[in-house]
């Protein structure tokens, strides 16, 4: 069985600068990493599914590298719509997959982890300067994925933009453009067990090409849950979280863990005995 920890949407600024003037993402990211390391020693690898930086600054990537280097297992990093692909690759050149990406101008990569084919797709279009926040995989990356999945290994795909609509209007305006082409590739490969994403800063579950696709919350701020299609884009400080994906042959299970410490776990048996003492 392969166990993947999944953190996403770090939105780091250079040390000492608050994201959007008020969110201490540096502290939020450090807390999330601390929580995963302290609680889940069974993790085989870590997935970081984009928006590593908030506006793509070199100092933010340097800080992300320092923070993510705390993991003792391989860490797989892909960009999101807030990243600059070239700078991210440069910063994470010593991490898996970034020395020689298989597709030109994309930071996609893949590795086999505990018998599971992990595929990291790059949905970013490098639009931080032009204000383009949608995602696109492109034909070359989809062809690479199609070929890769033909090995028949149980596969887990991670990417920034979810390949499904969320019903949250302002997020669906910046979704994955070639989601249908991606779904067609997935549908051809029954060995795909799970698709995991970020971007929408919430737990959202969809189905793509017959496979369960799941977005997990960010490690800092979240996106407001509203089905009002005219609602403006708003963030909300709901609990930060991380994902845990367990892939075991044909089986795939995903959990969401909260970063916050809600106090020690209590034994049901002790509480029951206390509540109903024997006469």
Structure tokens at 8: 């996403």
Window of 3-11, 83-91, 114-122, 145-153 that interacts with Fe ion by CB under 5 A = 3-11
| Cβ distance to Fe ion smaller for residue 110 or 123 | 123
d(CA 169, CA 121): 24
Window of 46-54, 140-148, 177-185, 241-249 that interacts with Fe ion by CB under 5 A = 46-54
Q: How far is the CB of 1 from Fe ion (least distance, A)?
A: 29
Sign for the CA dihedral angle at 261, 267, 270, 276 comes to positive
Q: How far is the CB of 160 from Fe ion (least distance, A)?
A: 8
Interface with Fe ion (CB under 5 A), residue from 2, 9, 108, 135: 9
Q: How many residues does this entry show for the chain? A: 279
d(CA 221, CA 109): 27
Q: How many CA atoms lie within 13 A of 180 on its CB side?
A: 0
| Cβ distance to Fe ion smaller for residue 51 or 178 | 51
Q: Are 26 and 11 in contact (CB under 8 A)?
A: no
Q: For 135-158, b where at least 16 C-beta lie within 10 A, e where not — what string?
A: bbbbeebbebbeebbeeeebbbbb
Q: How far is the CB of 83 from Fe ion (least distance, A)?
A: 10
Q: How far is the CB of 246 from Fe ion (least distance, A)?
A: 25
| Cβ distance to Fe ion smaller for residue 116 or 204 | 204
Q: Which residues contact 62 (CB under 8 A, 6 or more apart)?
A: 91
Interface with Fe ion (CB under 5 A), residue from 3, 4, 51, 166: 51
d(CA 214, CA 171): 15
Size of the site for Fe ion (CB under 5 A): 2
Q: How far is the CB of 10 from Fe ion (least distance, A)?
A: 8
Window of 32-40, 43-51, 237-245, 255-263 that interacts with Fe ion by CB under 5 A = 43-51
178 is a contact residue toward Fe ion (CB under 5 A)? no
| Cβ distance to Fe ion smaller for residue 88 or 113 | 88
Structure tokens at 117: 């084919």
Structure tokens at 33: 């990493």
| Cβ distance to Fe ion smaller for residue 30 or 153 | 30
Provide the phi-psi class of 258: left if phi over 0, else alpha when psi is between -120 and 50, else beta. beta
Structure tokens at 52: 């590593």
CA distances 12 to 28, 62, 64, 85, Å, are 9, 10, 7, 15
Q: How far is the CB of 236 from Fe ion (least distance, A)?
A: 13
Q: Mark residues 127-146: x for contact with Fe ion by CB under 5 A, - for none.
A: --------------------
| Cβ distance to Fe ion smaller for residue 39 or 177 | 177
Q: How far is the CB of 103 from Fe ion (least distance, A)?
A: 23
Per DSSP, 135 falls in state B
Q: How far is the CB of 259 from Fe ion (least distance, A)?
A: 16
| Cβ distance to Fe ion smaller for residue 52 or 145 | 52
| Cβ distance to Fe ion smaller for residue 26 or 51 | 51
Binding residues for Fe ion, per CB under 5 A? Answer: 9, 51
């Amino acid at each position: 069985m392969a166990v993947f920890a999944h953190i996403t949407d770090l939105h780091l600024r250079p040390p000492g600068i608050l994201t959007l003037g008020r969110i201490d993402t540096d502290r939020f990211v450090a807390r999330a990493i601390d929580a995963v390391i302290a609680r889940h020693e069974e993790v085989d690898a870590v997935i970081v599914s984009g928006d590593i930086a908030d506006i793509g600054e070199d100092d933010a990537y340097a800080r992300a590298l320092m923070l993510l280097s705390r993991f003792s297992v391989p860490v797989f990093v892909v960009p999101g719509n807030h990243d600059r692909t070239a700078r991210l690759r440069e910063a994470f050149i010593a991490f898996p997959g970034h020395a020689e990406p298989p597709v030109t101008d994309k930071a996609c990569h893949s590795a086999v982890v505990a018998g599971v084919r992990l595929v990291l797709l790059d949905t970013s279009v490098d639009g931080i300067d032009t204000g383009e926040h949608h995602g696109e995989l492109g034909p070359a990356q989809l062809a690479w994925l199609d070929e890769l999945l033909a090995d028949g290994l149980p596969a887990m795909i991670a990417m920034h933009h979810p390949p499904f609509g969320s019903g949250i209007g302002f997020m669906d305006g910046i979704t994955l453009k070639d989601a249908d082409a991606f779904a067609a590739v997935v549908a051809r490969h029954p060995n795909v067990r799970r698709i995991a994403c970020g971007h929408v800063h919430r737990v959202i579950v969809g189905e793509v090409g017959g496979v369960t696709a799941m977005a997990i919350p960010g490690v800092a701020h979240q996106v407001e849950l509203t089905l009002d299609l005219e609602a403006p884009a708003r963030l909300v400080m709901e609990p930060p979280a991380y994902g845990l994906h367990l892939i075991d042959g044909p089986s795939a299970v995903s959990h969401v863990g909260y970063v916050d410490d809600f106090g020690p776990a209590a034994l049901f048996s002790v509480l029951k005995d206390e509540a109903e003492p024997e006469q």
